[in-house]
């Protein structure tokens, strides 16, 4: 099982935040921008959200709070996916940093 629950939890919270940003895109820039934000896998929504983070107020907080939560959650989820996968075995120093390995003698 390992880090799978953490990856799923952080990923779902980040996805929820980005869907909220897409909803705000729909309100402020129309359905075309929101649709483009969904088609690009949330990348455009992430960029748009950071560009408008100080402009858009959501109830008692700014969009900056939502963007910070989305960025931290998605970044943490990505970090957990990288360190828990075996796909990074070819990266120099991977064993030394993440697996507690030792540096080989030359």
Which is more confidently placed, 104 or 75?
Answer: 75
- Rounded alpha-carbon distances, angstroms, from residue 56 to 2, 21, 85, 90, 94: 39, 10, 38, 43, 41
Task: Indicate whether 36 belongs to any domain.
Answer: yes
Joined together, the tokens standing for residue 23 give 């909803």
| Average pLDDT of the residues in 85-93 | 57
Task: Indicate whether 45 belongs to any domain.
Answer: yes
CA torsion sign for 42, 46, 48, 52 is positive
Indicate whether 48 pLDDT > 90: yes
Task: Indicate whether 79 belongs to any domain.
Answer: yes
Joined together, the tokens standing for residue 92 give 């120099």
Task: Indicate whether 75 belongs to any domain.
Answer: yes
Task: Indicate whether 106 belongs to any domain.
Answer: no
Q: Please give the tally of structural domains in the chain.
A: 1
Residues 18, 69: contact at Cβ < 8 Å? no
Which is more confidently placed, 23 or 97?
Answer: 23
- The residue segments making up the domain with residue 88 are 4-98
Which is more confidently placed, 81 or 66?
Answer: 66
Question: What pTM, to 2 d.p., does this model score?
Answer: 0.71
């Amino acid at each position: 099982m390992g880090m799978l629950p953490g990856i799923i939890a952080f990923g779902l919270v980040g996805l929820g935040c980005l869907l909220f940003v897409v909803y705000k895109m729909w309100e402020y820039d129309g359905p075309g921008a929101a649709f483009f934000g969904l088609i690009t896998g949330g990348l455009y929504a992430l960029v748009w959200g950071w560009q408008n983070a100080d402009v858009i107020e959501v109830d008692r907080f700014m969009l900056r709070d939502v963007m910070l939560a989305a960025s931290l959650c998605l970044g943490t989820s990505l970090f957990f996916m990288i360190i828990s996968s075996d796909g990074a075995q070819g990266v120099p120093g991977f064993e030394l940093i993440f697996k507690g390995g030792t540096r080989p003698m030359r």
